[in-house]
Structures are given as C-alpha cells and as structure tokens.
Structure 1
Amino acid sequence: MGVPVRKNLVSDDPSADTGTATIIGTTRSADKFEALRQAGIVPLLFDGVLTAEIAEALEKTTHLVISIAPEADGDPILKAARVAIARMPALQWIGYLSTVGVYGDHGGAWVDETAACRPVSKRSVMRVAAEQDWLQLGKEISRPVAILRLSGIYGPGRNALVNLENGTARRLVKPDQVFNRIHCDDIAGALWQLIEAGKGGIFNVTDDLPAPPQDVVAYAASLMGIEPPPEIPFETAQLSPMARSFYGENKRVANAAIKAAGYRFRFPDYRAAFDHMWASGDWRDGEPRSLMKG
C-alpha cells in the first residue's frame, strides 16, 4: 500500500481506524465490499471456508478481532481456520466480541465478570461455548485473548431518535426491567485500549446506567421536542419470540474491569450519548464509521 504497516487486523466489523495500520475485514457478501473500502478496510469474502486470500492475510496479521456469531456446531472462524490461526507467525493478540447475554437472568441484580454464566437463549449458550473455545486456543498458543461482552449496541443510524423519526419507537413497560447499553464508539475505544495494552481476559463493555427501555425513548423524545409514544404493557405487546426473549433476562452489568484496564468511556450513559448525537446531528448517520480511539 506504500505506507508502513504497524498492525494488521482481520475483522468482520465495518469500523476501523486505518491510521498507520492495514485493516482487513471479512464479510459474507461481496455487496458490502464498497462500504468496507469507504471505511478504509480491505475487504475479503468469508463464507465459512478458509480461502487462499484469507490464509495469506493471516500470515501477516498481528491482531485478530472476531465478531461473527457462533453457529450450532461451533465458531465458524475456528471451524475453518483454527490450525491456520494457531500457526500465525506475527499474531500478538486476539479479541472476541461476545454479549452480556451470557449471564442470563439475575433478577435485576448487579453482575460483573466473576458472575456465573447461566444463559437462557440458545444464541447465548453458543456464545459461552465460543468464548471458552477462543480462551482455550489462547492458552494453547500462549497469546492473550480478550473477551468483550457487549450490551445493547446503539449509535448513529441505530437509536431511539431514528425510531421516533420513522415511527417505529415503542415504550414497552415491564416492571423493574432494565437494560445496559453501549455506544459503538465506546466499543471501538475499548478495543483499541486492549489492543495497545496487549491485554487479555474478560471485560464487560457496557455503560454505567442500566435503565428501563421506555425511559430511553422518553428522553430521546424530549430532545426532539415531541411527545413520546404511549406506554404499552409488556404482557399485551406484540413481539417476536426473539424480542420477547430479551425481556426474560434482567440484570445490571458492571464495567469496572475495562475501566481498570485504563479505558474511560466517551459516553458513560445514554443521556450523554443522545445529547451528543442530537447536538452534532449525526444521529441519522448510518454510514461506516472509523474505529475511534479513546
């Protein structure tokens, strides 16, 4: 590329800070190649098979970020490329993007990384298994593996402001139900913190303010100067089985470990994030964003 390469990352996350790094991102669809290129990412196609192009990229990759969801028979990356990853000569660090769903339901109590994983949904059961597989590989090859357990992701193009504008926002009310959230910029920031520190372990990447979902919609409506939609009792709401399953888990997720690793959140709660998005006007922006540091 004509520039010094400090890091190579193979990732299917369409967000990356190119800086002095070469970023390689995988996707299952060639239709997404242009979006990846616009974000400064070299696109490669991955449909469950280790291609020659991907194998060549792995030979030079120093930092590997995985965000592909696991499948019933295991993690698709490990199924296709475990041997190749174990032999990567330049590999320094592995990051796996997981979910706080692995904790299951704790009745609204606080949980941290030491809490028992008791996943409710099949998708979270598979996440627990994938986490363990990546941690085991890290032990086998003596490389740090960071597991980032993410809460509900939002950001430009994906938030309650957008939902209010397009008429899809709802205020579902289930007594005592709370959720944590995380702005996409803080996922990026936490990743860079762990990459640059070369640190492994399990980290909850989530905000400081678990809150009822209806409160988030009401706050967004207040910023827009409009009336929020009426409250809908959870019991009578029309929901898909997957959406309803999210309400079967209630917990407050603590984030002290990622802070102890040196990360400071750009948006410690949804109010700070919505204030910024509304003031900056970037809340509608659904275009690829850079993997911001800090």
Structure 2
Amino acid sequence: MTKTLLSFGHGFSARALSRLLLPQDWRVIGTTRSEDKAPRLMNEGVEPRIWPGADMDPALNAATHVLISAAPGEDGDPVLAELRDEIAARARQFEWVGYLSTTGVYGDHGGDWVDETTPLTAATKRGIARVEAEAAWAAIPDLPLHIFRLAGIYGPGRGPFSKVRKGTARRIIKEGQVFSRIHVADIARVLAASIARPDPGAVYNVCDDDPAPPEDVIAYAAELLNMPIPPAVDFETADMSPMARSFYAESKKVRNDRIKDELGVDLLYPNYKTGLRALLAQEIGA
C-alpha cells in the first residue's frame, strides 16, 4: 500500500522531509496558501493543494501520515480551526501525525539546560500560542500524535552568509544569551526516523549538540567568507524590530538526547560550524 503524507503548510522543513520520502515511492500532498508556490511544489513531486480554499476531504481520506507545519495565528491553530472534526473522525486511520512546534514553549531559563520534561513556561505571545496548539492537538482522542520542538532553523538559503556579504550583519551582544539551532536536513532525518518508529504521545526536542551565542555564529560565517567580522552592537541600544528583540527575551540550552536514544538519529550537522561549512561548500558547488 502506498504511503501518503498530507502536509499542512508545506514549507522549508516539510519540503526537506518530502525529499527523503518521495524516492521511497511515497505520495506527498502539500498545502500552500499561495497559487504562485504550487508550480514549485509540483516540480518537486508534491501534489499541491491551495488551502484554505480546497476541499480537503479527498486528501484526508488518502492520508496515512499527517504533518502540521502551519503556525498558530490569532484564532489558534489554523488546521484545527477549519478541520478539527474531520481529522478527529479519521484519527484511527492515520499511522503517524507530526506537529512541528518550537523550543519557545519552554520560555526563558537564563541560559540553563532544558529537556522534554521541563515545564512549559512560555512568556511570549508566540510561545504561549504554541503551548496552546500543542495541547489542542494532544486533546484529540486516538490521534497518533508526535510533537517536535524545533530550535532555530537554518539551511540552504537560510543562513548568515547573505547578510555578511551585504555588510548588514551585526553581532548583537547580550551577556549570557545562547540559542540552540538545527539544520533543516537533520529535521527531515528526525521526522523520517519517527515515521519509521512511531511512538504516539512522544515529544522530541530537535536541535544540534552545540547551543551557542548568536554573535559567535555570525563571526564564524564571516571567517569562512574571509570577510571582516561584523561590528558588535549592544543589545540594549540595538535598533531591532519587536519580533527580533523578542527572540532575545529567552535564553536556554536545549538537550537532544531523546532523538538519539529513542530514534537512533546521528546528526549530519552536530554543531553550527559543521553546518555552516557544508552550506558554504554547497553554495560554491552549486
């Protein structure tokens, strides 16, 4: 029987997963809000659905696996807002359901370590919305839900090199600030490993082994490009958007033991240095 992944909000991480599944004869149906993005999905072997708008019953009927990447909005989780009853009615049909959340659900821990058992103490509007969305999905009876709390995502086209080259990169300095990260290729590997080894109710932190200050990442990117290290700017006086500033409201180091111990994942890019070197090599070779 053909496995069919229905992917809501088929974006950066979901596209990386589909690149692993399609060569294994999976069928992948991906939703997008933009008709302009539909041809790109088709070129990648994904069947696009413009949603909201399209009738999702045929896709839901075909789905053996479901991935939710869509972020919550003002009205909560957009997929549940439109399709909760339809999904709940098919809960036992699905072999695996994955929800892509964020490590922001843990809130601020002053640079200390967190793991999947850490209480959820989100304080930002964005983090609180994710906590609520996780709970809403978990409340659906018999749904084989797996929650993936993603750290800061980078990968091809999403890295610091462009800003460094343009001269717009800054090293924002806030004492004690540390972030965890994850390369999109490793997100895909974690999801694929979970699909191969379902454990309904499981929660996984998806991050690399090396939480690091953001200014160190920018400096290393500049070194790789043989360009001057961007200037240091004090966080308190930095000209930043409210969204950018909100990320600095929380500092924590995220443990990833569970993806290794329970899913057997061996990260391709266990730290930002290996990840950035690979991105640059890929750019040069493209």
The alpha-carbon deviation at position 35 of structure 1 amounts to 1.6
The change in CA–CA distance for 1:124 and 1:219 in structure 2 (over 3 A counts) is same
Conserved 8 A contact 1:179-1:250: yes
Corresponding residue number in structure 2 for 1:290: none
The alpha-carbon deviation at position 211 of structure 1 amounts to 0.5
The alpha-carbon deviation at position 11 of structure 1 amounts to 3.1
| Alignment: residue pair count | 275
Corresponding residue number in structure 2 for 1:159: 159
Conserved 8 A contact 1:10-1:61: no
The alpha-carbon deviation at position 90 of structure 1 amounts to 3.4
- 38-47 or 145-154: bigger deviation: 38-47
Partner Cα distance (1:241, 1:267) in 2: 30
Corresponding residue number in structure 2 for 1:222: 223
Alignment of 1:18-37 (within 5 A): 18-19=22-23, 20-37=25-42
Corresponding residue number in structure 1 for 2:77: 75
Corresponding residue number in structure 2 for 1:210: 211
Show CA shifts across 1:139-180 (max 9, x none).
x1x232111001111111110112212332111111111101
Partner Cα distance (2:27, 2:166) in 1: 37
Corresponding residue number in structure 1 for 2:259: 258
Paired-residue identity, %: 44
1:10 to 7, 13, 19: 7
Alignment of 1:178-189 (within 5 A): 178-189=178-189
Q: TM-score, normalised by structure 2?
A: 0.92
Amino acid at match of 1:28: R
Partner Cα distance (2:174, 2:83) in 1: 43
Corresponding residue number in structure 2 for 1:171: 171
Corresponding residue number in structure 2 for 1:42: 47
The alpha-carbon deviation at position 46 of structure 1 amounts to 1.0
- 266-275 or 31-40: bigger deviation: 31-40
Q: Unaligned 5+ residue runs, structure 2?
A: none
Corresponding residue number in structure 2 for 1:113: 116
Corresponding residue number in structure 1 for 2:271: 269
Alignment of 1:242-257 (within 5 A): 242-257=243-258
The alpha-carbon deviation at position 237 of structure 1 amounts to 0.4
Partner Cα distance (2:105, 2:266) in 1: 24
Corresponding residue number in structure 1 for 2:135: 132
Q: Secondary structure at the match of 2:58?
A: helix
Partner Cα distance (1:116, 1:222) in 2: 38
Q: Unaligned 5+ residue runs, structure 1?
A: 286-294
Confirm whether residue 103 of structure 1 aligns to residue 106 of structure 2: yes
Q: Secondary structure at the match of 1:207?
A: coil
Show CA shifts across 1:169-202 (max 9, x none).
1111111111011111111111111111122311
Conserved 8 A contact 2:172-2:232: yes
Conserved 8 A contact 2:94-2:144: no
Q: TM-score, normalised by structure 1?
A: 0.89
Partner Cα distance (1:9, 1:193) in 2: 17
The alpha-carbon deviation at position 282 of structure 1 amounts to 6.2
Partner Cα distance (2:74, 2:129) in 1: 7
Which portions of structure 1, spanning 4 or more consecutive aligned residues, are displaced by more than 6 angstroms? none
Corresponding residue number in structure 2 for 1:289: none
The alpha-carbon deviation at position 224 of structure 1 amounts to 0.9
